Amino acid sequence: MTRLFLAASAALLTATAAQAEPETFEFDKTHTVIEARWDHQGYSTMSMQFTDYDGTLSLDLETPSNSTVDITFNLIDGFWVGANQDRFITHLNSGDFFETEVNPTAHFVATGFETANGEIGIMTGDLTMNGMTGPVSLEVTLNQVGETRSGTTKLGFTAIGSLMRSEWDMGFAVPFVADEIELFISTELVAAE
Q: Give the pLDDT score at 19.
A: 54
Cβ-contact 30, 72 below 8 angstroms: no
Q: How many CA atoms lie within 13 A of 111 on its CB side?
A: 11
Spatial separation of the C-alpha atoms in residues 98 and 183, rounded to whole Å:
16
Q: Give the pLDDT score at 193.
A: 81
**pLDDT at 3 exceeding the cut of 80:** no
DSSP letter at 177 equals B
Spatial separation of the C-alpha atoms in residues 128 and 103, rounded to whole Å:
10
Q: Give the pLDDT score at 21.
A: 85
Say if residue 135 is preceded by a cis peptide, omega within 30 of 0.
no
- Tell which residue, 30, 31, 28, 33, has the closest CA to residue 47: 33
> Which residues, 6+ apart, have CB-to-CB distance to 20 below 8 Å?
60, 62
Spatial separation of the C-alpha atoms in residues 40 and 36, rounded to whole Å:
13
Q: Give the pLDDT score at 118.
A: 87
Phi and psi for 173 in degrees, rounded to 5? Answer: 70, 10
pLDDT tens digits along 50-68: 999 999 999 999 999 999 9
Cβ-contact 170, 131 below 8 angstroms: no
pLDDT tens digits along 121-160: 999 999 999 999 999 999 999 999 999 999 999 999 999 9
Q: Is the dihedral of CA 190, 126, 79, 119 positive or negative?
A: positive
Cβ-contact 125, 159 below 8 angstroms: no
**Mean per-residue pLDDT of the chain:** 90
Q: Of 10-14, 117-121, 145-149, 161-165, where does mean pLDDT reach its minimum? A: 10-14
pLDDT band for position 7 (cuts 50, 70, 90): very low
Rounded to an integer, the average pLDDT of 89-94 is 96
